[in-house]
Chains A and B, each alone.
Chain A
Amino acid sequence: MHLAYPAVLAVLLFCVGVYGVLARRNAILVLMSVELMLNAVNLNLVAFDVWLRDVVHSGQALTLFTITIAAAEIGLGLAIVLLVYRNRGSSDVDRLTDLAEPPEHGAPGHGDGTASGAGAADGTAADQNAEATA
Chain B
Amino acid sequence: MTLTALAALVPLLPFLGAAAGLLLGRRAPGFVRPLAVLPTATSFVLAAVVAARQGTGDPTDAAHKLADTGSAPIYLALHLDGFAVLIAVLVGLVATCVQLYSTAYLRDDPRYPSYAALVSLFTAAMFLVVYSGDLMVLLVGWEIMGICSYFLVGHYWETETARSASIKAFLVTKLGDVPFLIGVFALAADAGTFRINGILTAATHGQLHHPTVIALLLLAGVAGKSAQFPLHTWLPDAMAGPTPVSALIHAATMVAAGIYLVARLLPVFTASAAALAVLAAMAAVTMIGSGLAALAQDDIKRVLAYSTIGQLGYMAAALAVGDRDAAVFHLLSHGAFKALLFLGAGVVIHAAGTNSLTTMSRTGSLAKRVPDAMWTMGIALAALAALPPLSGFFSKESVLRAAEHASAGDTAHVPQAVGWTVFVAGLAAAVLTAGYATRLFLLAFRGSGPDAPDHGRQPVVMTSVLWVLAVPTIAFGGLAYRELPDWFGGAPLGPTLLTSVLGTGLALVGVLITYGAWKAVAATRLAVPAGAVVTAEGDADAEPALVEAEAIATHEEVYGDIAAADDPGDPGRLLLGRLHRHAAHGFHLDALYGALFVRPVLAAAQLVRFLDRDVIETYVRGAGGAPRLLGAAVRKAQTGNIQTYLSALLAGAVVLAVLVAVGG
By a beta-carbon cutoff of 8 Å, the part of chain A in contact with chain B is 18, 21-23, 93-94, 96-101, 108-109
Residue ID in chain A nearest B628 by CB atoms: A109
CA distance A22 to B640 in the complex (A): 14
CA distance A97 to B641 in the complex (A): 6
Residue ID in chain A nearest B625 by CB atoms: A109
B643 within 8 A of A: yes
Contact indicator B638/A93 (Cβ below 8 Å)? no
Find A100's partner among B628, B632, B639, B643 (CB 8 Å cutoff): B639
Contact indicator A21/B640 (Cβ below 8 Å)? no
B642 within 8 A of A: yes
Measured between beta carbons, the chain A residues less than 8 angstroms from B628 are 109
CA distance A96 to B644 in the complex (A): 12
Q: State the majority secondary structure of interface residues on B.
A: helix
Given A18-B650, A22-B650, the answer on whether A93 and B643 have CB atoms closer than 8 Å is yes
Find A93's partner among B635, B639, B642 (CB 8 Å cutoff): B642
CA distance A43 to B646 in the complex (A): 23
Q: What are 24 A-B pairs with beta-carbon distances under 8 A? A: A18-B650, A21-B646, A22-B643, A22-B646, A22-B650, A93-B641, A93-B642, A93-B643, A94-B641, A94-B643, A96-B640, A96-B642, A97-B639, A97-B640, A97-B641, A98-B640, A99-B640, A100-B638, A100-B639, A100-B640, A101-B635, A101-B638, A108-B632, A109-B628
CB distance from B618 to the nearest CB of A (A): 16
Encoded as 1 (CB less than 8 Å from any A CB) or 0, chain B from 607 to 632 comes to 00000000000000000000010001
- A18-B650, A96-B642, A98-B640 given. 15 additional CB < 8 A pairs? A21-B643, A21-B646, A22-B643, A22-B650, A93-B642, A93-B643, A94-B641, A94-B643, A96-B640, A97-B640, A97-B641, A99-B640, A100-B640, A108-B632, A109-B628
Residue among B635, B640, B641 with the most chain A CB within 10 A? B640
CB distance from B368 to the nearest CB of A (A): 71
CA distance A94 to B645 in the complex (A): 11
CA distance A127 to B235 in the complex (A): 73
CB distance from B335 to the nearest CB of A (A): 63
Measured between beta carbons, the chain B residues less than 8 angstroms from A98 are 640
Measured between beta carbons, the chain B residues less than 8 angstroms from A101 are 635, 638
Measured between beta carbons, the chain B residues less than 8 angstroms from A93 are 641-643
B647 within 8 A of A: yes
Measured between beta carbons, the chain B residues less than 8 angstroms from A18 are 650
Q: What is the total number of residues of chain B having a CB less than 8 Å from a CB of chain A?
A: 12
CB distance from B633 to the nearest CB of A (A): 12
The list of the 6 closest CB pairs from A to B, nearest first, reads: A97-B640, A100-B640, A94-B641, A22-B643, A22-B647, A100-B638
Number of A-B residue pairs having CB atoms within 8 Å of each other in the complex: 28
CA distance A18 to B650 in the complex (A): 9
Measured between beta carbons, the chain A residues less than 8 angstroms from B642 are 93, 96
Encoded as 1 (CB less than 8 Å from any A CB) or 0, chain B from 216 to 236 comes to 000000000000000000000
Measured between beta carbons, the chain B residues less than 8 angstroms from A23 are 643
CA distance A67 to B490 in the complex (A): 115
CA distance A104 to B325 in the complex (A): 84
CB distance from A25 to the nearest CB of B (A): 8
CB distance from A32 to the nearest CB of B (A): 15
CA distance A21 to B639 in the complex (A): 17
CA distance A98 to B642 in the complex (A): 11
CB distance from A27 to the nearest CB of B (A): 10
Q: Which of B408-460 contact A (CB under 8 A)?
A: none
CB distance from B119 to the nearest CB of A (A): 51
Measured between beta carbons, the chain B residues less than 8 angstroms from A108 are 632
CB distance from A101 to the nearest CB of B (A): 6
Measured between beta carbons, the chain A residues less than 8 angstroms from B650 are 18, 22
Measured between beta carbons, the chain B residues less than 8 angstroms from A99 are 640
CB distance from A44 to the nearest CB of B (A): 16
CA distance A121 to B492 in the complex (A): 93
CA distance A108 to B632 in the complex (A): 10
CA distance A94 to B642 in the complex (A): 7
CA distance A101 to B642 in the complex (A): 14
Measured between beta carbons, the chain B residues less than 8 angstroms from A96 are 640, 642
Residue ID in chain A nearest B631 by CB atoms: A112
CA distance A100 to B643 in the complex (A): 13
Measured between beta carbons, the chain B residues less than 8 angstroms from A97 are 639-641
Residue ID in chain A nearest B643 by CB atoms: A22
Residue ID in chain A nearest B642 by CB atoms: A93
CA distance A23 to B642 in the complex (A): 11
CA distance A2 to B640 in the complex (A): 44
Measured between beta carbons, the chain B residues less than 8 angstroms from A94 are 641, 643
CA distance A115 to B642 in the complex (A): 22
CA distance A92 to B416 in the complex (A): 110
CB distance from A22 to the nearest CB of B (A): 5
CA distance A90 to B635 in the complex (A): 27
Residue ID in chain B nearest A23 by CB atoms: B643
CA distance A98 to B640 in the complex (A): 7
CB distance from A96 to the nearest CB of B (A): 7
CB distance from B164 to the nearest CB of A (A): 39
CA distance A18 to B653 in the complex (A): 13
CA distance A97 to B646 in the complex (A): 14
Residue ID in chain B nearest A102 by CB atoms: B640
Measured between beta carbons, the chain B residues less than 8 angstroms from A22 are 643, 646-647, 650
CB distance from A102 to the nearest CB of B (A): 9
CB distance from B632 to the nearest CB of A (A): 8
